[in-house]
Structure 1
Amino acid sequence: MSVSTGTTLDVRPISGALGAEIHGVDLTNLTDELFAELHRLLLRHQVIFVVGQTGLTPEAHVAFGRRFGEVELHPYLPRLEGTPEIVVIDSESGGKVDVWHTDMTFHQSPPIASILHLVKTPSVGGDTMWTNQCLVYEQLSAPIRQLLDGLTAIHVIRIGNEFTSRAEHPVVRTHPETGRRSLYVNRLFTSHIPQLSRNESDALLQYLFEFSEGPQFTCRYRWRAGDVAVWDNRVTQHYAVNDYVEPRRGQRVTILGDHPEGEPPRWEHYQAAPGQRYWPARVNAVENY
């Protein structure tokens, strides 16, 4: 694959569902043409892995992120000293999240993308997996898709007693750039579907979680030190495989989000009958994700 600069990009898909390795790019010297090509590849593959970026400086990492949009200053995760735009994800300090999730869906405007630079990897293990939530939605039956198109979901996080965030988003969102629909619920942050009773919500969400995690929707990436992953947070979930004991350290830049859009809800929030107690759904307690 060639671009007008004369640079050749070697693009290697890593699964039938999503994901591609990109060779032949230096993110410290990124032209507008190359960035446009990477952006196009991201929309197509949903997660891209730019290999061999051992020389990527924190400043270049942040500059790359700013090409996508405004970079987040995370309110509570540890940051890289001298570069507050970079979050440090260190396995020695609790930085292991072996639960399928989409980043920060508990915000009203969740991030649109994340850029993770692995600077230290274990000799064995420490892979990350992603799922294609567009493909998940498209492979549901028509009656289930029709039901989901008319529902919203509540996403929640609580960290101790100091920080709580809550947002309501469509269960199915429409990508603002590609127009594709994707399932938009996840195990870590989705609490319940407010149009349904507690039992109905729990049963439906459990089915959707399990279906969306099927191997036919996933890719799995074996990291090398210096690799950079960029994923579209609007249409993917990811899972950090916790099968290693040696240190693993990454530096992440997150791009601030848009407001998830989908079909308007077709029903009001569920109201329990008089005398019937409505138990609220679970609320996550997450110290470090």
Structure 2
Amino acid sequence: MSATALIDDAIPRSNVVKRAARIGAEIRDLRLTGDLPTQTIAAIISLLLEHKVIFFRNQGHLDDAEQERFAARFGKLAPHPLLGASKGTSLLELDSRRGGGRADIWHADGTFADAYPKILVLRAVVIPPFGGDTLWSNTAAAYLDLPPPLQRLADELWAVHSNVFDYAGMARVREVDKKHFDAAFTRTIFETEHPVVRIHPETDERTLVLGALVQRFVGVPKYDGHKLFDLFQSHITAPENTVRWNWMEGDIAIWDNRATQHYAVNDYGDEHRVVRRATIDGDVPVSVDGRRSVTRHKVAKQPLINAG
């Protein structure tokens, strides 16, 4: 059965509303649960692969446990390797009033590891009265926008990704965020080499693997590397390749982390924002020439010794 026939049979196309030309669709009139028929889950996956990020309104019936049950239909659930999870679940809670709760940088989740997550399922729990939108970008469309000589260059490049942040590059970093990342997010330091272009394991598309966790390009001097990063990243974040979602409490967003980056807009001041994320285990990226990503360094910080 073709993907189109599968979707039409399980989810009426009239219920699938594109949110932008290159990325994003809202699926209406579908109540998400862990008990959805297999055919419906297959249709959701097909729509996800097509649109890269899909949205569902009016899912306030989902609690933590049911969000997990639903997300588990897409693969193996995995808690964050460094930040852990909400008590009794595999979910990661992002609370704006605590450190690390405002992800206002363009990134794909977990690229400091080799087999970084393939799918994320995010639920809006507390949404501020203004602001707090999230943007996603289509990294497959960004690759196609590159002129052929730059595509060939990108095909050959590899980059080192790490969970060690350069705070100087963050416009609105708070002291509580610095403490959070120093204490939790970087308690084990990863350095992983990824191809700048990976072959998507389900669509065979070429997607760009970059974002805020890139430290440097392999074999490229630092100065030139900064220029290359800005060049390729500017194609990823071009407005034409993005979609913006205005959250309401109870919304669900699902995105393909292998073909997107995202950015949580930090424009809601001291208002409260809480979202909870389920993470699906991913696979190790494969480059255009068939090589696989590899984690070169994984070092746990040693506790400080009080000498005195």
Q: Does 1:124 align with 2:149?
A: no
Partner of 2:218: 194
Counterpart of 2:267, as a letter, is D
Partner of 1:236: 260
Q: Does 1:89 align with 2:94?
A: yes
Q: 1:8 to 1:150 in 2, by over 3 A?
A: closer
Q: Does 1:31 align with 2:37?
A: yes
Counterpart of 2:217, as a letter, is I
What do residues 189-218 of structure 1 show as CA deviations (whole Å, max 9, x unaligned)? 011111212222121112222232111110
Shift of 1:8: 7.7
Greater helix content: 2
Q: Distance in 2 between matches of 1:6 and 1:198?
A: 49
What do residues 114-167 of structure 1 show as CA deviations (whole Å, max 9, x unaligned)? 100001111111100000101100010100101111111110113436220111
Counterpart of 2:50, as a letter, is R
Q: Does 1:176 align with 2:176?
A: no
Is contact 2:107-2:263 (8 Å) kept?
yes
Q: 2:27 aligns with which of 14, 22, 25?
A: 22
SS in 1 for 2:120: strand
- How many residues were matched structurally? 264
SS in 2 for 1:148: helix
Identity percentage of aligned residues: 37
Q: Distance in 2 between matches of 1:148 and 1:230?
A: 27
SS in 2 for 1:167: strand
Q: Distance in 2 between matches of 1:68 and 1:265?
A: 26
Is contact 2:120-2:255 (8 Å) kept?
yes
Partner of 1:54: 60
Q: 1:64 to 1:205 in 2, by over 3 A?
A: same
Partner of 2:73: 67
Counterpart of 1:103, as a letter, is D
Alignment of 1:249-264 (within 5 A): 249-264=274-289
Is contact 2:82-2:187 (8 Å) kept?
no
Q: Distance in 2 between matches of 1:193 and 1:8?
A: 43
Partner of 2:145: 139
Partner of 2:239: 215
TM-score of the superposition, structure 2-length normalised? Answer: 0.81
Q: Distance in 2 between matches of 1:135 and 1:64?
A: 29
Counterpart of 1:252, as a letter, is R
Q: 1:8 to 1:220 in 2, by over 3 A?
A: closer
Q: Does 1:166 align with 2:161?
A: no
Counterpart of 2:210, as a letter, is V
Is contact 1:9-1:25 (8 Å) kept?
no
Counterpart of 2:73, as a letter, is R
Shift of 1:7: 7.2
Partner of 1:106: 112
Q: Distance in 2 between matches of 1:75 and 1:170?
A: 22
What do residues 43-97 of structure 1 show as CA deviations (whole Å, max 9, x unaligned)? 00000002111001222211222111111122332632222x1111111113001
Is contact 1:91-1:247 (8 Å) kept?
yes
SS in 2 for 1:129: strand
222-231 or 64-73, larger mean C-alpha shift = 64-73
Q: 1:210 to 1:165 in 2, by over 3 A?
A: same
Q: Does 1:203 align with 2:208?
A: no
Q: 1:5 to 1:168 in 2, by over 3 A?
A: closer
Partner of 2:173: none
Partner of 2:250: 226
Counterpart of 2:208, as a letter, is L
TM-score of the superposition, structure 1-length normalised? Answer: 0.86
Structure 2 stretches lacking a partner, 5+ long: 165-180, 292-308
